[in-house]
């Protein structure tokens, strides 16, 4: 204080200020040394003791801050001023002191921030720097000032600094530091060389602190105006804004930072000591940190700048780093940064900052190729950089024990820095691998850059001149400890590092370009996967361990898939043994090869139940390591903040981190909450501030726990997803013969039981349900496939019965075992295991409750696959199964399928209405996919529910009515689908699922009755979509092949809508026996409502498969519904309506009879020949379906004729004659005829009996053709293994058009058997239809011949002109009032005379000759004895033959 008072009196006057060397009086050298020593002691005390700092400042007499500031304004040496500033910096560590210190600095103008017109400009520290320090070539005052500003910035930073005197803000200080100190530090002279870097370090430290605390805000990008001395001026921007602007431009500041980094690495590359080395390293570190901060903040800064009105131009930092270096004239800034990695051992901090920058800029995909070019342009630099990266990854973090605690602490910090450097390098590799080649990761990992990446030949370092790369370092990190029982060391000591290493390996294996070389190297040189998988699972329940396992398991899945595709059986088998064995593994040979005998012996051990040597399968142990339970943090208890608003703020602060996890940004949340508190006003708010801060800490602690929960759940989901992929690959991609069927079933059983037991636990996290349900779906699907494969018999023995077409386990089935074989357990895993799986599935469904519809969709699919197990497989209809008597069939023991089906149904029913409610609710209003699956599940359950409990529940609960009524809602969506470019087809898929279920219901008598009560046919009659039949494409006539597309053409879409409706009508007509006439009446109204569509289908000349299927269904419906007797069931109001209905029926009758001309003869073969343009596979399948449809059309028309004859007049004396006695059609069809589309007779003209005789002959020929194919196919099925390879291939291609060459011989045989079974059953069905057509034709022919030859007389000619039906010609004077449907057009064309009858007699004897009769009798002997009415054909043939003989006589 004395010095201050004395020197203050000696302050020169204003007039003497201009003197360059003002006189120094009052302080001698010894006093100066003493003062400096005293100030240093004071500085040390106030730096380390906050209480001393506050006590000194608050002392009323001492007032050290005031005295020091006063001395700074006096003429004293710069060295003393520097010590005074350092002492002020010590006091400034307390925020309370720092705030007042800022104002004092501004008042004393130590740095002149206010320019007065009357004063000489440039006073203060700026003059000291330029005038005194520069001349002395020593800069203690500048360094001390930077230290003071750095301390004050860190402690307290007033936003309104200098308010009232100038535009408020920090800008004058920043400008001085940037322009006068930093930008000129390289050009100044230094007596002590090290001081150059001390100055740079000091000023860069201030820049770093300013930028670190800056967060770009929208208000920063709008000019703020302040009133100063009566005028408005633009306020200064925050210092961070100014620094960002300078660093995001090619400014002198950025150029100098890059130059400092370049000079630093150049100096370090000499590996020689030089003055100021530590300060240079620190200055370079600050430059790195400035660039890192800029890279972190630039996105938000540039986003806010784009939205603001400011006219600033900035460039992304990564682009600026690609600029030309003015010293080297190359774009080598990034290379210079990367060169610091070569000094990772001596300067770990610089290597760490360098790795951070490289990682940040590598996230930009546009510069990856440029980076690779920069790194590889010079081979020497390229090699050096590779060595640097590898050295950082290879650095050993475990150092020798150090005695000094300080040294030990420094070593710990350096170890952490080295560890984080590795983390950043691995993140750099991971990010780069996601970019397209060439990228930085491929260079660092040792892959080819000048050739295709897939041609890389990876070798161990040193082999064939291969340098050590980052891949070798990564593998070494993971290899350490694998030869011990504890496993890889990195997994426990550096879990995050190990996780990233595993992720890099996975990404290399998952990328198509790098997968081949990487897997080959890992498999042959490293044996990486086997040695790593041996130690699974890692630590139980730890988050990092789960992530490590996830990447490793995913890599193993890829390896299994690739080795299976490449048929590398030994490698696949070795990994499968490791994962699936339940016995201790034995050591393998060096190359992993195992002989076939050893393979069989090892695989055979899976079925030996020696509990003493059992171990838990590794794939189950991996699942055990995932804890399904999850601790949830307690709910927040808040006294001041509003809970809902806090939840909203937390949600707003959420973001996705680098791993894709959604977490809350704790720092941002803290900043938001503190800003909220700071905005509070009043004394009450100030008094409660400590309580508010305490509650903020509670909120932040809750958020940290919540983040931990989310990250843990994400890790569990990741692990479960990886595990599910591995299981799916094992089941789908690996060769089937490597895992025997019995073993496969046992594995799936164990996996399902473990999954169910874990997920059905009350503490299991609901978030895991989705993945578990997906795994359950896959496992159940393959369990069903495995069991059904096991139960299928490879060959059919000639005398094997229908119920014996099942293959049990070896030893439990033989063809001679008889009844004992059928009582064996179902499949290898047994009935009890299957029942347990079913119960778990049902409990899982019930656990989901009302939500989790996507989870239930998987479970419904699983249940459908399970129900398929008890579904009898497709069996070949050998036409011999009916040899058994009815008594033998009734007394036969229950087979395994019926037994399991009954047990399954009883288990389902035991869950009662709760299960029914869930499934039915989903079927009515669930999510689209879940709705379709629920309908399919109901379909399957109703089909096996013999007691019809589910049907009753559906009806009584109203769900069936809801489904039926929803057809009206579907109508609008379906109409939109018929536009040329439909929006989406999901409405069509839901409609198809719904109609399939209703069709299933209609197959039972009770179901058809319930549907009639629900008014399903009435609803379909109201739907307008059936009237919107699109015009067929003329180029598609006769089913010519078109280019296949995913979205079908409008005509095909329409058929997908119409055909299910026709099928439903047909089934209701067939199933409703007691209410048949009611059903027929409703169906007839449906036909009449949509009569225009029906007429167009019947008149259509299109010959495509879809058109034929329409006709087949439609004729089947008309044959049962469009009958005269049905009209009596309708409530017809008046005679006019009755006549209209009769007219509709008449048109249906005429058009159906007209179809005989198209499909009863050679026209059918011409239409089949049009399919020759299709591909061979399509041609075979489509031809079979078309042939079946044509035969069904003929069968339905003949059934219709028979029904018309029998319904009107069942006796022989009165007959509805549908055919004239003319046999001309038969004669003309037997000879050659032109290929014309025009029918022989129009649709309204009565056909002759000739068409019946021709159809009879044609059906007989077809029968023998089908019979021969059927018999040959049965023989082939019994001897599949003896068939030639070409025939096997042809059969397989019908089932699997592509990829037949890649499947095994066993699978080819299975496909061939499947195709043969289809051929056999198809031909059996055609044989049945042909037989029915033959029987019906014979019956109609007999009735007509009997009438024409025995009961017709010439007096009937006049009456025949007044037929009471459309085609009737008979004697009925007393039945005219029953049916007034007259066809006046046929009056002049349907007359015939006695000569016609005589011609019928003559030609009939020729047409129905001995050869035809013999063929018909042969058909009966071959087929009808076991399949139809025995001796019926024989009786009809005998009667027809007798009629012709008697009439001739």
Of all helices (H) and strands (E), which one includes residue 225? strand 225-228
118 pLDDT above the threshold of 60: no
Q: What confidence tens digit (pLDDT) does each residue in 136-146 have? A: 888 888 998 89
Give the residue, 1238 or 518, on which the prediction is more confident: 518
pLDDT digits (tens, 9 = 90+) for 957-990: 999 999 999 999 999 999 988 888 777 888 999 9
pLDDT value at 720 more than 50 = yes
Residue 1214: per-residue pLDDT: 59
What is the reported pLDDT for 921? Answer: 94
Q: Is the dihedral of CA 809, 812, 815, 820 positive or negative?
A: negative
Strand partners of residue 764: 629
Please give the backbone phi and psi of residue 234, each rounded to the nearest 5 degrees, phi first: -75, 125
User: What is the per-residue pLDDT for 56?
Assistant: 78
Name the more confident of 121 and 407: 407
pLDDT at 1067 over 90: yes
Tens of pLDDT along 869-878?
Answer: 888 877 787 7
Contacts of 525 (CB under 8 A, 6+ apart): 458, 459, 460
Q: Quote the CA–CA distance of 493 and 490 in Å, as a whole number.
A: 5
| Threshold 0.95, pTM exceeds | no
Q: How far apart are CA 723 and CA 620, in angstroms?
A: 10
Beta bridge partners of 330: 325
pLDDT at 821: 36
Burial class of residue 498 in the structure, from the number of CB atoms within 10 Å of its CB (0-12 exposed, 13-18 middle, 19+ buried): buried
Confidence at 797, pLDDT banded by 50, 70, 90: very low
Model confidence at 164, in pLDDT bands (50, 70, 90)? low
The answer on pLDDT for 270 being more than 70 is yes
Indicate the pLDDT class of residue 14, thresholds 50, 70 and 90. Answer: very low
Q: Give the model's pLDDT for residue 1226.
A: 56
- pLDDT of 783 reads 93
pLDDT band at 820 (very low <50, low <70, confident <90, very high): very low
462: left (phi over 0), alpha (psi -120 to 50) or beta: left
Please tell me the predicted confidence (pLDDT) of residue 1225: 62
pLDDT band at 1244 (very low <50, low <70, confident <90, very high): low
Buried b (16+ CB within 10 A) or exposed e, 1234-1272: eeeeebbbebbbbbbbbbbbbbbbbbbebbeebbebbee
Alpha helix (H) ranges present in 128-228?
134-136, 140-155, 171-175, 194-212
Q: Average of pLDDT values for 924-936?
A: 92
Place of tokens 């044989």: 1327
The whole-angstrom separation of Cα 45 and Cα 33 is: 19
Instruction: Decide if 240 contacts 173 (C-beta within 8 A).
Output: no
With bands split at pLDDT 50, 70 and 90, how would you rate the model's confidence at 1177? low
Residue 397: predicted pLDDT = 59
The model's confidence at residue 597, banded by pLDDT at 50, 70 and 90, is very low
Q: What percent of the chain has pLDDT over 90?
A: 37
Who's near 968: CB < 8 A, 6+ residues apart? Answer: 1019, 1022, 1023
Predicted pLDDT at 604 = 47
1173 pLDDT exceeds 50? Answer: no
Lowest mean pLDDT among 5-9, 32-36, 39-43, 995-999: 5-9
- Which whole-number Å values give the CA distances from 600 to 603, 1073, 1110, 1421, in the listed order? 5, 59, 55, 52
pLDDT tens digits for range 1072-1108: 877 888 888 889 999 999 989 998 988 888 888 888 9
pLDDT value of position 1241 = 39
Average pLDDT, the chain: 81
Report pLDDT for 4: 52
Q: What are phi and psi of 478, to 5 degrees?
A: -80, -20
Describe the crossing of helices 949-956 and 912-925 by its angle, rounded to 10 degrees.
60
Alpha-carbon distance of 571 to 738, in angstroms, equals 11
**Which carries the bigger pLDDT value, residue 525 or residue 539?**
525
**What DSSP string runs through 492-540?**
HHSHHHHHHHHHHHHHHHHSHHHHHHHHHHIIIII-HHHHHHTT-S-ST
Confidence at residue 32, expressed as pLDDT on a 0 to 100 scale: 77
Burial level of 623, CB count in 10 A (0-12/13-18/19+)?
buried
Q: Render pLDDT for 884-911 as a digit per residue (tens, 0 to 9).
A: 555 666 676 777 888 888 899 999 999 9
Tell me which residue of 123, 135, 42 sits closest to 84, measured CA to CA.
42
Length in residues, the chain: 1449
User: Which carries the bigger pLDDT value, residue 382 or residue 660?
Assistant: 382
What's the confidence (pLDDT) of residue 1386? 37
Higher pLDDT, 1166 or 56: 56
How many helices (H) and strands (E) would you count in the chain?
64, 4
User: Which of 124-133, 406-415, 672-681, 685-694 is predicted with the least confidence, judged by mean pLDDT?
Assistant: 406-415
pLDDT attached to residue 6: 53
Confidence of residue 728 (pLDDT cuts 50, 70, 90): very high
Work out the average pLDDT over 203-215: 92
First-to-final CA distance of the chain: 160
Q: pLDDT over 70 for what percent of the chain?
A: 82
Measure CA 1000 to chain center.
32
Task: Write out pLDDT tens, residues 1005-1020.
Answer: 999 999 999 999 999 9
Backbone angles phi, psi at 663, to 5 degrees: -130, 165
How many other C-beta atoms are found inside a 10 Å radius of the C-beta of residue 644? 8
Per-residue pLDDT tens digits for 1377-1403: 334 333 333 333 456 677 888 888 888
SS3 231: strand
Distance of CA 307 to the CA centre of its chain: 36
- Encoded tokens for 812: 């439990």
What is the average pLDDT across 621-627? 92
Least confident window among 405-409, 674-678, 971-975, 976-980: 405-409
Determine which of 145-154, 567-576, 1243-1252 has the lowest per-residue pLDDT on average: 1243-1252
Q: Model confidence at 1163, in pLDDT bands (50, 70, 90)? A: low
Which pLDDT score, from 0 to 100, does residue 1204 have?
86
- Which pLDDT score, from 0 to 100, does residue 1038 have? 40
Average pLDDT over residues 1314-1332: 91
């Amino acid at each position: 204080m004395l010095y201050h008072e004395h020197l203050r009196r000696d302050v020169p006057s204003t007039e003497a200020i201009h003197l360059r060397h003002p006189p120094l009086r009052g302080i001698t050298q010894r006093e100066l040394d003493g003062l400096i020593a005293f100030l240093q002691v004071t500085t040390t005390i106030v730096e380390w003791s906050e209480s001393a700092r506050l006590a000194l400042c608050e002392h009323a007499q001492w007032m050290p801050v005031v005295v020091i500031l006063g001395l700074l304004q006096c003429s004293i040496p710069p060295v003393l001023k520097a010590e005074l500033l350092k002492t002020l910096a010590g006091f400034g560590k307390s925020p309370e002191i720092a705030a007042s210190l800022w104002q004092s600095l501004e008042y004393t103008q130590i740095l002149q921030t206010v320019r007065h017109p009357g004063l000489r400009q440039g006073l203060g520290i700026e003059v000291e720097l330029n005038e005194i320090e520069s001349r002395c070539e020593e800069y203690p005052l500048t360094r001390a000032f930077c230290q003071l500003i750095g301390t004050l910035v860190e402690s307290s930073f007033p936003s309104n600094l200098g308010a009232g005197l100038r535009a408020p803000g920090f800008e004058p200080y920043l400008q001085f530091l940037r322009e006068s100190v930093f930008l000129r530090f390289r050009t100044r002279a230094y007596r002590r060389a090290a001081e150059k870097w001390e100055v740079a370090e000091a000023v860069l430290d201030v820049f770093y602190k300013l930028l670190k605390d800056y967060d770009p805000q929208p208000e920063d990008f709008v000019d703020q105006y302040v009133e100063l001395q009566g005028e408005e001026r633009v306020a200064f921007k925050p210092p961070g804004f100014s620094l960002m602007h300078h660093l995001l431009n090619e400014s002198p500041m950025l150029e100098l930072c890059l130059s400092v980094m370049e000079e630093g690495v150049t100096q370090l590359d000499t590996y020689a000591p030089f003055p100021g080395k530590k300060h240079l390293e620190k200055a370079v570190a600050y430059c790195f940190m400035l660039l890192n901060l800029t890279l972190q903040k630039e996105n938000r800064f540039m986003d806010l700048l784009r939205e603001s009105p400011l006219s600033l131009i900035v460039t992304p930092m990564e682009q600026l780093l690609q600029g030309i270096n003015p010293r080297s004239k190359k774009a080598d800034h990034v290379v210079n940064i990367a060169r610091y990695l070569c000094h990772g051992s001596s300067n770990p901090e610089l290597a760490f900052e360098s790795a951070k920058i490289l990682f940040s800029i590598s996230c930009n995909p546009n510069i990856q190729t440029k980076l690779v070019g920069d790194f590889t342009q010079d081979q020497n630099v390229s090699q050096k950089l590779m060595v640097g990266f590898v050295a950082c990854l290879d650095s050993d973090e475990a150092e020798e024990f150090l005695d000094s605690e300080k040294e030990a602490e420094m070593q710990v910090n350096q170890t952490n820095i080295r560890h984080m450097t590795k983390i950043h390098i691995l993140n750099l590799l991971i990010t780069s691998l996601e970019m397209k080649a060439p990228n930085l990761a491929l260079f660092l990992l040792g892959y080819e850059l000048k050739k295709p990446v897939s041609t890389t030949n990876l070798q161990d370092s040193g082999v064939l001149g291969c340098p050590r790369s980052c891949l070798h370092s990564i593998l070494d990190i993971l290899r350490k400890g694998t030869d011990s029982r504890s496993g890889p060391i990195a997994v426990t000591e550096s879990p995050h590092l190990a996780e990233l290493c595993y992720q890099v390996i996975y990404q290399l294996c998952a990328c198509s370009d790098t997968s081949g070389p990487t897997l080959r190297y890992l498999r042959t040189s490293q044996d990486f996967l086997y040695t790593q998988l041996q130690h699974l699972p890692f630590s139980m329940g730890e988050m990092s361990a789960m992530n490590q396992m996830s990447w490793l398991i995913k890599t193993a899945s890829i390896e299994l898939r690739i080795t299976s595709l490449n048929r590398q059986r030994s490698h696949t088998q070795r990994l499968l043994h490791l994962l699936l064995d339940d016995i201790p593994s034995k050591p393998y040979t060096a190359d992993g090869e195992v002989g076939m005998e050893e393979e069989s012996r090892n695989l055979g051990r899976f079925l030996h139940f020696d509990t003493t040597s059992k171990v838990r399968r590794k794939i189950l142990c991996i699942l055990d390591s995932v804890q399904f339970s999850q601790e949830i943090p307690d709910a927040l208890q808040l006294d001041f903040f509003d809970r809902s608003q806090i939840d909203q703020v937390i949600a707003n602060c959420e973001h996705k981190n680098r791993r894709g996890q959604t977490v809350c940004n704790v720092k941002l949340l803290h900043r938001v909450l503190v800003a909220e508190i700071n905005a509070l006003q009043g004394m009450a708010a100030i008094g409660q501030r400590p309580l508010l801060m305490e509650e903020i800490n509670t909120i932040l602690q809750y958020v940290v726990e919540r983040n931990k929960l989310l990250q843990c759940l994400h890790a569990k989901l990741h692990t479960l997803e990886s595990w599910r992929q591995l299981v799916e690959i094992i089941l789908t991609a690996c060769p089937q013969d490597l895992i025997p069927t019995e073993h496969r079933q046992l594995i799936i059983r164990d996996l399902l039981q473990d999954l169910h037991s874990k997920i059905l636990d009350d503490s299991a996290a609901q978030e895991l349900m989705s993945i578990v349900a997906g795994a359950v779906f896959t496992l159940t699907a393959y369990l069903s496939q495995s069991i059904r494969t096991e139960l299928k018999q490879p060959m059919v023995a000639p005398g094997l019965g229908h119920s014996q077409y099942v293959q049990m386990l070896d030893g439990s089935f033989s063809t001679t075992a008889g009844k004992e074989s059928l009582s064996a357990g179902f499949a290898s895993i047994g009935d009890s295991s299957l029942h347990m799986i079913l119960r778990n599935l049902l409990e899982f469904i019930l656990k989901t409750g009302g939500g989790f519809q996507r989870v239930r969709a998987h479970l419904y699919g699983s249940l459908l696959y399970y129900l398929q197990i008890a579904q009898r497989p497709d069996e070949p209809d050998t036409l011999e199964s009916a040899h058994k008597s009815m008594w033998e069939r009734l007394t036969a023991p229950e087979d395994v399928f019926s037994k399991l089906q009954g047990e399954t149904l009883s288990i389902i029913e035991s869950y009662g209405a709760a299960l029914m409610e869930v499934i039915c609710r989903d079927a009515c209003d669930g999510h689209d996919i879940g709705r379709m699956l629920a309908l399919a599940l109901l379909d399957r359950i109703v089909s096996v529910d013999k007691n019809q409990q589910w049907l009753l529940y559906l009806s009584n609960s109203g769900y069936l009515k809801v489904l039926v009524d929803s057809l009206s809602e579907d109508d609008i969506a379906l109409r939109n689908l018929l536009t040329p470019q439909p929006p989406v087809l999901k409405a069509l898929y839901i409609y198809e699922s719904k109609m399939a279920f209703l069709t299933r219901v209609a197959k039972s008598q009770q179901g058809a009755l319930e549907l009639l009560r629900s008014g399903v046919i009435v609803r379909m009659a109201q739907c307008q979509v059936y009237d919107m039949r699109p015009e067929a494409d003329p180029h598609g006539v006769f089913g010519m092949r078109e280019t296949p597309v995913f979205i079908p053409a409008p005509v095909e879409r329409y058929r997908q809508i119409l055909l299910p409706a026709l099928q439903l009508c047909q089934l209701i007509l067939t199933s409703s026996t007691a209410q048949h006439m009611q059903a027929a009446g409703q169906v007839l109204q449906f036909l009449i409502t949509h009569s225009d569509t029906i007429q167009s289908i019947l008149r259509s000349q299109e010959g495509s498969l879809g058109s034929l299927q329409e006709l087949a269904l439609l004729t089947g419906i008309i044959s049962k519904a469009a009958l005269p007797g049905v009209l009596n069931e309708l409530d017809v109001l008046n005679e006019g309506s009755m006549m209209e209905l009769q007219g509709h029926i008449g048109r249906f009758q005429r058009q159906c009879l007209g179809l005989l001309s198209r499909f009863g003869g050679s026209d059918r073969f011409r239409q089949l020949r049009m399919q020759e343009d299709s591909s061979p596979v399509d041609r075979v399948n489509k031809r079979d379906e078309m042939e079946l449809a044509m035969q069904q059309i003929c069968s339905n028309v003949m059934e219709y004729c028979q029904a018309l004859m029998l319904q009107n007049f069942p006796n022989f004396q009165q007959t509805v004659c549908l055919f004239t006695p003319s046999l001309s059609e038969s004669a003309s069809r037997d000879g050659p005829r032109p290929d014309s589309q025009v029918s022989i007779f129009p649709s309204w003209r009565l056909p002759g009996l000739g068409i019946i005789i021709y159809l009879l002959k044609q059906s007989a020929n077809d029968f023998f053709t089908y019979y021969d194919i059927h018999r040959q196919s049965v023989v082939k099925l019994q001897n599949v293994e003896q068939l030639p390879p070409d025939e096997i291939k042809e059969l397989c291609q019908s089932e699997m058009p592509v990829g037949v060459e890649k499947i095994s011989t066993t699978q080819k045989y299975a496909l061939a058997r499947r195709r043969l079974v289809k051929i056999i059953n198809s031909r059996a069905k055609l044989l049945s239809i042909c037989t029915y057509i033959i029987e019906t034709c014979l019956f109609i022919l007999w009735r007509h011949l009997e009438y024409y030859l025995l009961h017709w007389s010439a007096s009937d000619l006049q009456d025949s002109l007044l037929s009471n039906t459309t085609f009737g010609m008979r004697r009925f004077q007393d039945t005219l009032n029953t049916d007034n449907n007259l066809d006046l057009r046929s009056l002049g064309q349907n007359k015939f005379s006695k000569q016609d009858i005589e011609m019928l007699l003559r030609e009939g004897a020729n047409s129905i000759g001995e050869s035809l009769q013999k063929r018909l009798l042969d058909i009966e002997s071959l087929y009808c004895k076991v399949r139809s009415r025995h001796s019926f054909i024989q009786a009809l043939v005998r009667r027809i033959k007798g009629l012709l003989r008697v009439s001739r006589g």
